[in-house]
Amino acid sequence: MTASVELVLGAPGTGTSQRAVQEVIQHVTGGGRLEEVLVLAPTRAAATDLRERLEAELGVAATGMPVHSHQAFGFAVLAQRARREGLPAPTLLSGADQDAVLAELLQSSTGAGHPWPEEVVPALGTQGFRDELRDLFARAVEHGVTASELAALDDHQGEHGTPGLWRAAASLMTEFERVTALAAPAAVDAAWVVAAAADLLLVEDDLATQVLGPLRLVVVDDAQELTVGTHRLLTAALAGVSGRAVLLGDPDAATQGFRGARPELFVDWARSQGASVEVLEQGHRLGPGLAAVAERITGRVGAATVAHRTPAPAARRGGAEALVLPSPHVEAVRIATELRREHVLGEVPWGRMAVVVRGRAQSGRVRRALERAGVPVQVTGGGQPLTGHPVVSVLIDLLEAAVHAARTGDLSVDEERALAWLGSPLGGLDAAGVRRLRRLLLAGVGEQEGAAPVTSGELLVAALTEPPEVWEGRGAELGPLRRLATALTRGVEAARRTGGRSGDGRAGGPGVTAEEVLWAVWDGLGVADRWQRTALEGGVAGRRADSDLDAVMSLFALAEQFTERRPGAGPEVFVETVSSSGVARDSLVLGARRDAVQMLTPQTAAGGQWEVVLVAGVQAGAWPDLRLRGSLLGAGRLVDLVEGRHGELSDQIAAVRHDETRQFLVACTRATRRLVVTAVRDAEEQPSPFLDLVDPLPPGVETRPVSAWVPPLDLPTQVARARRELLLAAGAPGPRARPTGTEGPTDGARQERGIEQVDASRRAAWAGELVTLARAGVGAADPDRWWLGRRPSSAAPPWPEGTLAVARPSALGTWQDCALKGFLTAHGGQSPAGPQQELGILVHDVLADHPEAPVRELEAAVDAQWEEFGSPEVWWSRRDRERLSEWLRRYDTYRHECGRELVATEVPLDVTVGGVRLVGRVDRVERHPDSGALHVADLKSGQVGSPKELPENPQLGAYQVAVEAGGLQVVAPDAGTAAVSGGASLVQLAEGQTIRTIDRRQAALAAGEVDHAARLQETGREMLAATHLATVGDACRHCPVRTSCPAQPEGGQVA
């Protein structure tokens, strides 16, 4: 090697990256040319940052900067050789693409005679197994181990290895290389790029001269991230350079250890080359307090060198603190509060703050808390696979269905798939919405003369597979069906546009791309404009719409990239590739950083700095995570074996601990002023010992206390506090109680006195704050909008004169028990359906579709819909399923022993009686065989009350009144005779073992003592009244509108 080597060591914040920039500037200003410079960085993000810095300093377009990531430089070497030899240009096989191929190969290798040891067979289909395979292959390629050599090493795994595992992996490695070579002959993965480029530079002198000959300066930033493979590429490059090589880094601050980084490698190698060593002794980022934190953390890292660890601190103020919170939720809320306080009170821009988390799970939890608190956030690391986003997964499924229909002519959609689409953000329905849709479809069929029996599931499928025009004019509630049907129809049309088959024999005409069919599906959904409006409006719904649109844009970018890289592959190949990968896809274009809090991992935080940094989720067992990397497939054992090391288990654990500490150091040294580290202590979680390195406990204190509650700094909280303090200062009664630990310094005195003395100065101060807020447009601060100061706007009835009262029989009992509850629940005050209600809806649907089926057929029908309720692996799901089976057995008992014959199920009801319009559906209409009188049966999965209440039951009474008014559309025994009610029943499915306890009967109207027609008329008048009486009773304990009831303490008006 002819290049002279210089080693520059610097602790975090001492300016190693800036020194790299200065080396280039000095070379150019000293008469050198940019073409003579090569700058290497470990990642594309780091290379982009260096490129932009150089552009700012030199005034040269960033595209002309000689800055590359290690993989990009290797790729450039391969591309140069391809151009010289007239070969196809290489394309990079991304991690997600590799994962997709491995998933397919593993699935096909699990049949009879598969090579895998039985111990690992259950793991073959998991994402974790594929991750370890990719790591094993990468380490093998880095160290020049071929598939045949890997198989030969199987007998040398040692006592912790699994015999036969490396032989099976070697077989898969050979198949993987064959498949990828056939699918894309010029495709290369990142590890192979680096290894192949190093080999070419060492073997092909002409190529080395062409690539390296002009170079006079090679700068390697963050050299602690060099792997064995990238170090080999570097040494191969320096062999052809006659100038200077400057390696800059900090062996304590590596974050890519999980990808094979060897933090000490660059130091050892530079010293072996007789390199001059320079230590950066002045810190520029960390003041004394934060520098002390860094020193305590680096003291726990295994040292390759320590000379650089104690630079002079920067002349900055700042410090660090560690917070322990009682739950993950409180931790996330506290993080949002700290960020808001810094922004509002400290005037720190959002973009100068960051949150560092360990991984994807924590990132999602904290991100959601920030969004709820109105904190703008940009996630830069810890991303999930694109198909993990619900919008993307459904779009891919719709695309697959359309392509399949174009190929086979069969647009086959089953009920399970239809329900998944309807329940997605593209369908927009929850479980209750799907139930309503089922009932609407059934009602539409019921209106058709001579319609054949059909289930609601069959109707859902038909609605999606028939032309969308069929459902036009059927009301807005059918909108989700029309939307999805239109998307499918347009997708099929796009896939068939030119006819024939694609170049790879898949569906679609020649030239039909995945991007075109995907666009047709998306355009057919017609949600883009609405989502865009919602996103611009902000709030929780706006942020969700923004996230959904971002995911869709990412999917289109991926489709465009796929089309460019694999022009001969049809849409089916795109679907298979995206669906089978569980790896987050990397974008070739880094997102523009906006004025938002950055959500980072240690890897994506490396090289950056922010004024305020919060490191979240520092839990024992999670950070440090001392589990051995690649412990199943043994990538680490392979490296030890190839390099001739015989590490003990304790040495391996120590290496993992040091790697974890390095990542923690990087996370904690990104702050320039304030560092906050958070953890949770509860029944399941304990804080990590790392907290003591950030904020040591005072002498004699063994346990860090839980941090005091800090009220959120947001408008709702501030307005509520101002209103409360104003009323207290004005002499209003003090609060009844506050949560423990939230009392202010005078709260105890206020609670004892109950009434606060008037404090004119405090009253004026708080009133002034509310006036300021009201003038700024905060409506809740305006006293004219407080409920306490409002008067009824009108005493007139809410309905125009002559309005007809409309009621469902099932709601009449609520009106008669408490008119206020009836009014409020009829206008949106009803609680969402709970698990018990959902089970009841399910059994109603099954019994409506199969009213006369034996129990075994009913059980099968339930099983077909059971997945949406829970998994058989969960105890409460098994309990609910057993309960439902008992209901079906009781129904079968009722059906055989009630003594009446079935006339119809799910019968529409719409009749006006005594000024009240009764609407709804009747579960069962039966006929007494002797008299021919009709009998209504209502299936109940909940409690039905005591037998003595049955004669006055208003629901059954209304059914009977409706029967005699001709309100049920069923055939009477004699077409010329009016229908006669023969009674009504509540069929108690949840309890009862005999027909007497299951069939709770109400006598026929003629034999009854209650005038249900008169009671119905009275209830109708109550429904149209101007006021509604609140009646206190036992039902108040479970009332869904209790907080709106003036008869209840929690329903009183507040200021």
The CA–CA distances, whole Å, from 1043 to 510, 811, 1037, 1053 equal: 64, 20, 11, 10
CATH number assigned to the domain comprising residue 195: 3.40.50.300
Phi, psi of 42, deg, nearest 5: -75, -25
Ligand-binding site membership of 13 (annotated): yes
Rounded mean pLDDT of 859-879?
72
DSSP state of 371: H
**323: pLDDT confidence band, cut at 50, 70 and 90?**
very high
Are 448 and 490 found together in one domain?
Answer: yes
- Per residue in 804-822, pLDDT tens? 888 889 889 889 889 999 9
Q: Distances in Å between the alpha carbon of 228 and those of 74, 269, 604, 655? A: 14, 11, 22, 16
| 445 found inside a domain | yes
Q: Binding residue per annotation — 12?
A: yes
Q: Which of 591, 513, 508 is CA-nearest to residue 553?
A: 591
> Which pLDDT value is given to residue 925?
93
| The pLDDT of residue 832 is above 60 | yes
User: Are 544 and 426 in the same domain?
Assistant: yes
Evaluate whether residue 271 is within a structural domain: yes
Known binding residue 10? Answer is yes
* Residue 70 pLDDT greater than 70, yes or no: yes
What's the pLDDT score for residue 501? 42
**Which residues neighbour 268 within 8 Å (Cβ) at sequence distance 6 or greater?**
304
Q: Phi then psi for 831, rounded to 5 degrees?
A: -70, 150
Contact 421, 483 (CB under 8 A): no
Angle separating helix axes 328-344 and 360-372, nearest 10 degrees: 50
Q: Is 844 left (phi over 0), alpha (psi -120 to 50) or beta?
A: alpha
pLDDT of residue 384 exceeding 70, the answer is: no
Average pLDDT, whole number, for the chain?
81
Picking from 374, 331, 1050, the residue whose alpha carbon sits closest to that of residue 717 is 374
Q: Which band of pLDDT confidence, cut at 50, 70 and 90, is reported for residue 825? A: confident
For the chain, give the longest Cα–Cα distance: 113
CA distance 830 to 39: 65
Residue scoring higher pLDDT (542 or 15): 15
DSSP labels, 239-290? TT--SEEEEEE-TT----GGGT--TTHHHHHHHHTT-EEEE--B-SS--HHH
Domain containing 654: what range?
319-379+596-694
Whether 500 and 568 share a structural domain: yes
Residue 701 in domain:
no
351 annotated binding-site participant: no
* pLDDT recorded at residue 499: 45
Q: Which of 673, 547, 520 is nearest to 610 (CA)?
A: 673
3-state SS, residue 816: helix
H-helix or E-strand spanning residue 678: strand 671-680
Looking at the structure, do residues 418 and 479 belong to the same domain, yes or no? yes
Q: How far apart are CA 859 and CA 865, in angstroms?
A: 10
In a domain, 720, yes or no: yes
Higher local confidence (pLDDT), 59 or 280? 280
Mean pLDDT in residue range 755-767:
73
More confident residue, 61 or 614: 614
Which residue in the block uniquely carries the two structure tokens 């070497």? 77
Regarding whether 452 and 370 lie in a shared domain, the answer is no
Which of 532, 552, 580 terminates a domain? The answer is: 580
Sign, CA dihedral 1006-1010-1011-1017, equals negative
Is 118 in the same domain as 77? no
Average pLDDT value for residue range 368-392: 75
Total structural domains in the chain?
Answer: 6
Q: Mind giving me the DSSP string for 771-810?
A: HHHHHTT-GGG-GGG-GGG---S--S-SS-TTPPEEE-HH
Flag whether 162 is marked binding.
Answer: no
Residue with more model confidence, 108 or 900: 900
pLDDT band at 420 (very low <50, low <70, confident <90, very high): confident
**Residue 498 annotated as binding?**
no
CA 419, 421, 427, 429: dihedral to nearest 10 degrees? 30
Both 26 and 162 in one domain: the answer is: no
For 986, the 3-state DSSP assignment is strand
pLDDT band at 219 (very low <50, low <70, confident <90, very high): very high
pLDDT at 183: 60
- The pLDDT tens digits for 425-481 are 888 887 767 777 777 777 666 544 444 556 777 777 777 777 766 656 555 667 788
Q: For the chain, report the end-to-end CA distance as a whole number of angstroms.
A: 80
- State the pTM of this model: 0.66
Q: At 730, phi and psi to the nearest 5?
A: -90, 5
Task: Let me know if residue 887 belongs to a domain.
Answer: no
997 is in an annotated binding site: no
Residue at a domain's end among 549, 580, 611: 580
Q: 1008 and 971, same structural domain?
A: yes
In this model, does residue 928 exceed pLDDT 90?
yes
Give yes or no for residue 387 having a pLDDT over 70: no
Residue 892 lies in a domain: no
Q: Vertex 501, ends 495 and 504: CA angle to 5°?
A: 110
Contacts of 1029 (CB under 8 A, 6+ apart): 818, 819, 820
Spatial distance between the Cα atoms of 79 and 466, rounded to a whole number of angstroms: 51
Q: For residues 365 and 956, what is the distance between their CA atoms, to the nearest angstrom?
A: 49
Tokens 């706007």 belong to residue: 793
Helices (H) and strands (E) in the chain, counts: 38, 20
Task: Sort 1048 into a burial class: Cβ within 10 Å, 0-12 / 13-18 / 19+.
Answer: middle
The packing angle between helices 571-580 and 539-565, to 10°, is 120
pLDDT at residue 568, as a whole number: 63
CA-only gyration radius of the chain, Å: 36
Q: What is the pLDDT of residue 753?
A: 37
Please, what sign has the CA dihedral across residues 83, 84, 88, 90?
Answer: negative
Same domain, 176 and 218: no
Based on the fold, state whether residues 554 and 451 are members of the same structural domain: yes
195 and 151 within one domain: no
Other beta carbons within 10 angstroms of residue 183's beta carbon come to: 17
**Closest to 418 measured CA to CA, from 393, 382, 394:** 394
Cα angle at 217 between 211 and 221, to 5 degrees?
A: 100
Residue type present at position 739: P
d(CA 899, CA 918): 28
- 392, 424 in Cβ contact below 8 A? no
Tell me if 105 sits within 8 A of 175, measured CB to CB: yes
Distance between CA atoms of residues 199 and 210, nearest Å: 15
- Cα–Cα distance for residue pair 439/921, rounded to 1 Å: 9
What sign for the dihedral angle of Cα 249, 255, 261, 262? positive
Same domain, 528 and 416: yes
Report the range of poorest mean pLDDT among 15-29, 284-298, 533-547, 1014-1028: 533-547
By mean pLDDT, which of 266-280, 577-591, 644-658, 688-702 is the weakest? 577-591
CATH number of the domain to which 1012 belongs: 3.90.320
CA distance 283 to 393: 48
Confirm if 465 and 413 have CB atoms less than 8 A apart: yes
The residues, any chain, with a CB within 8 Å of residue 119's CB and separated by 6 or more, are 162
783 is in an annotated binding site: no
Structural domain ending residue among the three candidates 280, 308, 328: 280
527 neighbors 486 (Cβ within 8 angstroms):
no
pLDDT band at 508, cuts 50/70/90? Answer: very low
Do 465 and 487 contact (CB within 8 A), yes or no? no
What digits encode the pLDDT tens for the residues 549-602?
A: 888 888 888 888 777 666 666 787 777 777 655 555 554 444 445 688 998 999
CA distance 189 to 1024: 73
Q: Choose between 970 and 191: higher pLDDT.
A: 191
**Residue 619 in 3-state DSSP?**
strand
> Is there a domain that residue 851 lies in?
no
pLDDT interval class at 277 (50, 70, 90): very high
Query: In the chain, what percentage of residues exceed pLDDT 90?
Result: 20
> What pLDDT is stored for residue 505 in this prediction?
38
Examine residue 290 and state whether it is found in any structural domain, yes or no: no
